[in-house]
Structure 1
Amino acid sequence: MHATVRRYDLGAGSRGMGAVKELTRRCQEELVPNLSGLDGFTAYYVVDTGNGVISSVSVFEHDASAQEGNELVKHFFKERLQGLLQANPQVTSGEAVVHKP
């Protein structure tokens, strides 16, 4: 199992709240269908941590699948969400060493 955690800053206040809503809508409608079609896809989560910060977690069965998913997400955020982000995301990726489905 391989997972990637990303942290996105969309800004605080009403601007951030509108950006959070738009980001989650685009992810649900555009990104998730593409990710779920990848071989080895297990799960994708978007978490609203408050104050205009969003975290996402993607989970794949194999490293190669995770890398493909990471490229897809990177391209999606660059092409479809760049105007919503205040900075580049913080990205952490690796093998999930403890997990229970």
Structure 2
Amino acid sequence: MRLYAAWTADGEPLADLIDRLALARRVDAWSWIEILHRNARTSHRDRIEVRAYPLREVLADVEAGQRGCELRRADFARLLADDAARDGRIPLPAPGIPAWVGVGPRLHHQHRQ
């Protein structure tokens, strides 16, 4: 599998703005998953799958304070803790979920390094 990230001409600054706002509001990775899942637009061309995320809709969710489901968040935290224990890593401190992963190029490139 190969993943490619790309933004429209005006998308990069908007995506970076969303990331700054989400991090300032302490939106976590579980909410990132749910917000992106809710807003994803998926299309297929042969074996290629394209997922697009309308950034204005993602921004609206972050501005509105949307968060991921609390029951699923707890399950996600347990999954991460179990995975860390299995690999001999130290689990994340409470609540056990990393911060917002990002939709913009700045955070995307930080995570790829």
More strand by share: 1
Using the size of structure 1 for normalisation, the TM-score is 0.30
More helix by share: 2
- Greater relative contact order (Cα < 8 A, sep 6+): 1
